[in-house]
Amino acid sequence: MYCACAMEDLIVGLLRHRGAALETNPLAIGTPSIRPLGRISDPPIGLNNGPATLHTSVWHAPDGWTILDRVELDRWIVDAFPGQHWILSERPLAPNLRLPEKSGVNFEIWGPDQLSNWLGEAILSGEIHARVSSVDDNELSLESNDIEEIRLESAWFESIKHDLCTMAPSVDLETWIERNPIGNDVRPTAVLVEARIWSVLGILRGPESNTERAWWGILESPLFGTFEVIDDPVFLGHRPDLRVIPPISWMEENIVLENISRVTETRKTFSPDSISSVRIHGTWSLDPSSTEIESVTVLLPAWILEVPGSSNSILNAVSGSLHPFTGIIR
């Protein structure tokens, strides 16, 4: 087992690798056996397997001879300030442990099994690299080179999470009709089509145990039959006052995950070893166990095109693709 300071450094380092910022809180007193690690002032990216939310205070209960019982938690909660708390314990929890209560204080405890699983997943995903150099010396390093890049790539998604935004059209209707004659006397009706954008964070695994943390924004549009990665989409600063066409149904989550695996798989180059200058092509696939997703609804501009004597179509004003339309026009 690592010494307490090494384990605390490891926990804090992993949170910071995932983009969290921890600040010292002078109100966090703790006890000799439950120590404060800091309060989260910037939440980690995509940590959906732990209560590491904004302003959560993180605590560590180091390894010891005794179990973590109600007596110790009673001692800790006396000085606990209001808010959310997360205790990570290397010590087993007492059987049938009944947690103490205090008004305004909410907390969750992770025992040694959950803590070990969390750290083990980070090692397997490549976030933590461990090298044993001697019986008593463990070197642990946390790589965070890609965390800022992911923040920059996903900034546009974060900016639209709390509003129903409309993507900007990139197709001029008159020009499109000139280049794609579909019949005489075309009657266009401008509409908005509901779609979803998925934020996907995960680990790409390549040959020779190569790994890379990556983020994607993926557009799902049932009406247009699309599920594709998008880069830096442009959104309008306002929502046009137009009819909104909802999808008949959204993809079920298991189908979404299958499609995410399909569209994120890529071929990239890699070096077979650290000293080789040779670059080899290989297939990189998203590790399902590392995948963390969330979605937001957006609106796509479109035109329903009526042509007398012909079936109706709908034109995607973002991509310029034309699709059959069997719904009601107005």
Q: Is 29 a member of any domain?
A: yes
Contact at 8 Å (CB) between 91 and 64? yes
Report the pLDDT value the prediction gives residue 136, as an integer from 0 to 100. Answer: 42
Q: Are residue 184 and residue 287 in the same domain, yes or no?
A: yes
* Domain boundary residue, one of 81, 116, 144: 144
* Domain boundary residue, one of 113, 144, 175: 144
Taking the whole predicted model, whether its pTM rises above 0.85 is answered as: no
pLDDT class for 137, splitting at 50, 70, 90?
very low
Report the pLDDT value the prediction gives residue 125, as an integer from 0 to 100. Answer: 63
Q: Are residue 96 and residue 225 in the same domain, yes or no?
A: no
Domain with 133 in it: 4-144
Q: Are residue 287 and residue 229 in the same domain, yes or no?
A: yes
Q: Is 329 a member of any domain?
A: no
Q: Are residue 168 and residue 246 in the same domain, yes or no?
A: yes
- Average pLDDT along the chain: 84
Q: Are residue 128 and residue 213 in the same domain, yes or no?
A: no
Q: Are residue 114 and residue 178 in the same domain, yes or no?
A: no
Q: Are residue 163 and residue 131 in the same domain, yes or no?
A: no
User: How many independent structural domains does the chain possess?
Assistant: 2
Residue-wise DSSP of 80-108: PPSEEEEEEESSPBPTTPPPP-BTTEEEE
Q: Are residue 313 and residue 222 in the same domain, yes or no?
A: yes
Q: Is 104 a member of any domain?
A: yes
Q: Are residue 62 and residue 157 in the same domain, yes or no?
A: no
Q: Are residue 41 and residue 164 in the same domain, yes or no?
A: no
Q: Are residue 196 and residue 287 in the same domain, yes or no?
A: yes
Neighbours of 123 (CB within 10 A): 13
Q: Is 330 a member of any domain?
A: no
Average pLDDT over residues 240-259: 94
pLDDT class for 30, splitting at 50, 70, 90?
confident
Q: Is 229 a member of any domain?
A: yes
Whether the predicted pLDDT of 39 surpasses 70: yes
Average pLDDT over residues 145-150: 69
Q: Is 133 a member of any domain?
A: yes
Average pLDDT over residues 239-267: 93
Residue-wise DSSP of 126-186: TSEEEEEEETTEEEEEE--TTHHHHHHHTHHHHHTTTS-EEBPP---HHHHHHHS---SS-
Residue partners of 207: CB distance under 8 A and separation at least 6: 270, 280, 282, 283
Q: Are residue 80 and residue 31 in the same domain, yes or no?
A: yes
* Domain boundary residue, one of 118, 144, 170: 144
